[in-house]
Each structure stands twice: as structure tokens, then as C-alpha cells.
């Protein structure tokens, strides 16, 4: 596809409804998510001097969510009017998006592990020390950055079927495309499995504790697992459909539905960044548990 044949004008295409739907989802995420994460950042910055790992983890989550949401107006414009921001911006913005989305998923996963260890195994968690906890946070950002390296490497400015410019993934062969899709599926399976496992173990462990309300913990854990699953599950489903299409070239009837599902699923992943501030920061502030006491003890060591 050649950029010379592309148009920068506002044209209508056969796929206009799917671009409108994706733009509507992204617009909702931007309007709700950006102010929500800014409020959360303001709350957490005032508490960062407490040297609480929970606060630092929530702060890292809010930063990654905010950074993933800020470029959304650019994508909305690109969906409706074509990409006009150049090749360098295409690669840089794509990398930031993937980096922050991966970081958000890993932060949420680490949060489940952290709360399980802090509540049920406080002595083992205390042995980690401040340096170990800082290493975990740094490791999340580094790992997310490495996982997102495929974005700038494979993003190119090309043409949509309607002639508008598009910032999209371009692969040299089917094997390369399948490898990237399998990476996203694997990341979802690992994060979702760890999330469910550690929160279920946490709920089971504190079910008889006098410091917790069993019903409130059940509701919180259920919300966390259900929201993460709902907003992210369409991505691996769409990826699996595309992988099936790659290995079965005769399934051309799935091409349009799979591509449409992929666009919608990518847009829905931003809902997780939109919901996170309300789901975690405000919910956990209501469930004051032995974690706080444990962290106070850790800071005094």
C-alpha cells in the first residue's frame, strides 16, 4: 500500500459504522477515564510519602492508565478522517499505548499477588524489603516496555480500503502475525489466571477473619475478576479467529467479522483503564484491612 494514493479528506467508507462504534467507545473512555485517573493521581500523590507499596502500585496503575488514555483523541480522528500525523508519531504513539496497556494489566495482576501475600503471608512479604518492592515496580515497567517493542517495529502508515491513511500493523509474513497474536493471547491467559487464583485464595483465607466483611470482599473480588475478563476477553477471541483464518485461507467469510471484532475489542480494552480508578482506589479505600498495619510494620523495620 502506498501513502501517495491515500487521501487526507473526510470520506465515508463501507466500514463507517465500525469506525463510528470504535470512536464512540474511545470517546467515552477518554471523557470518563482521564478525569478519573487525574483525581486518583492527586489523591495518591498526597499519600506517596507514606512509602506504602499499595499506594505506589496504585500510583503506577493510574499513571499507566492515564498515559494510555491521553492519545485517544488522535485515534478517534484517525478512525474518522484518516491518519495525518506522520510515520514517526504512528510508531511512538502506538508504542506508548501498548507499553501502558501491558503495564496496566501487569499492575492489576501484581496487585492480586501483593494483597494475597500481605494479608495471608505478611512475614514472607516483609522479607522482600523496600528494595525488592521497588524492583517489582521497576520490573513491571521494563517488562511492559519489552513486550510492547513489536508495536513500533510493525506499525506503518498505509491506506484503508476507502483510501484514507491508516496507522496499522504490517507484517512480513503470516508467521510473524501469528506470533504477535499468540503473545497477546498468552499475556491475557497468564494475567487472568493469576488474577483469579490469588484473589480466590485471598477470599478463602480471609473469609473467617474478623478484620474483613466476607460479603464485601466477595463483591469486590467478583467485580475485579468480572470487569477484567469482560473488557479483555474479546481480544484473544478476535486473535484466535484471525489465527484460524491465517491457517485456513478458504475461510474468507470470517475476514470482515474478525477484523470488526478486533477493532471493537481493542477499543474495549481502554475501558479497563477507565474503570480501574473507581474499581481499585475507591474500593480498596473502603476495605481497610490488615494490609495497612502490615505496611506500617514494614516501614518501621
Tens of pLDDT along the chain (301 residues) come to 344 455 544 444 444 677 778 888 889 999 989 998 998 888 888 877 766 788 888 889 899 999 999 999 999 888 888 888 888 999 999 999 999 999 998 988 998 888 888 878 888 888 888 888 889 999 999 999 999 998 888 888 887 666 678 888 888 888 888 888 898 899 989 998 998 898 888 877 766 555 554 556 566 666 777 788 888 888 888 888 888 887 776 555 666 677 777 777 878 888 888 888 878 776 665 554 444 444 444 443 3
> What's the rounded Cα separation, in Å, for the pair 285 and 188?
27
The structure's pTM equals 0.82
Longest CA span, the chain: 68
Burial profile 139-160: b = 16 or more Cβ within 10 angstroms, e = fewer: ebbeebeebbebbbebbbbbbb
Distance in angstroms between the alpha carbons of the first and the last residue of the chain: 61
Q: Which residues have a Cβ under 8 Å from the Cβ of 96 and sit 6 or more positions away?
A: 67, 68, 71
- The CB density around residue 3, as the number of other CB atoms within 10 Å, is 13
Q: Enumerate domains of the chain plus CATH numbers.
A: 25-300 (1.20.1070.10)
The conformation of residue 280, written as its DSSP 8-state character, comes to I
> What's the rounded Cα separation, in Å, for the pair 237 and 229?
12
Between the alpha carbon of residue 299 and those of residues 49, 53, 59, 253, 293, the distances in Å are 11, 10, 18, 60, 10
Amino acid at each position: 500500500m502506498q501513502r501517495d494514493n491515500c487521501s487526507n479528506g473526510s470520506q465515508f467508507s463501507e466500514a463507517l459504522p465500525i469506525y463510528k462504534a470504535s470512536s464512540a467507545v474511545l470517546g467515552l473512555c477518554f471523557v470518563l477515564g482521564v478525569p478519573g485517573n487525574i483525581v486518583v493521581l492527586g489523591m495518591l500523590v498526597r499519600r506517596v510519602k507514606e512509602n506504602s507499596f499499595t499506594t505506589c502500585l496504585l500510583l503506577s496503575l493510574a499513571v499507566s492508565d492515564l498515559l494510555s488514555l491521553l492519545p485517544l483523541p488522535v485515534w478517534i480522528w484517525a478512525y474518522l478522517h484518516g491518519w495525518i500525523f506522520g510515520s514517526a508519531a504512528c510508531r511512538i504513539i502506538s508504542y506508548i499505548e501498548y507499553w501502558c496497556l501491558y503495564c496496566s494489566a501487569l499492575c492489576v495482576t501484581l496487585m492480586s499477588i501483593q494483597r494475597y501475600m500481605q494479608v495471608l503471608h505478611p512475614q514472607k512479604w516483609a522479607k522482600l524489603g523496600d528494595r525488592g518492592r521497588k524492583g517489582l515496580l521497576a520490573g513491571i515497567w521494563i517488562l511492559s516496555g519489552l513486550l510492547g517493542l513489536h508495536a513500533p517495529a510493525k506499525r506503518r502508515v498505509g491506506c484503508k480500503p476507502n483510501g484514507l491513511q491508516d496507522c496499522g500493523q504490517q507484517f512480513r509474513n503470516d508467521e510473524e502475525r501469528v506470533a504477535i497474536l499468540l503473545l497477546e493471547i498468552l499475556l491475557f491467559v497468564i494475567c487472568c489466571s493469576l488474577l483469579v487464583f490469588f484473589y480466590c485464595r485471598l477470599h478463602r483465607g480471609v473469609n473467617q477473619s474478623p478484620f474483613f466483611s466476607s460479603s464485601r470482599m466477595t463483591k469486590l473480588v467478583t467485580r475485579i475478576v468480572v470487569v477484567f475478563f469482560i473488557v479483555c476477553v474479546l481480544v484473544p477471541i478476535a486473535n484466535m479467529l484471525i489465527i484460524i483464518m491465517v491457517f485456513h485461507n478458504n475461510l474468507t467469510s470470517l475476514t470482515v467479522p474478525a477484523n470488526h471484532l478486533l477493532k471493537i475489542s481493542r477499543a474495549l480494552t481502554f475501558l479497563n483503564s477507565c474503570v480501574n480508578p473507581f474499581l481499585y482506589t475507591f474500593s480498596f479505600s473502603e476495605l481497610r484491612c490488615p494490609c495497612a498495619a502490615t505496611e506500617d510494620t514494614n516501614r518501621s523495620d
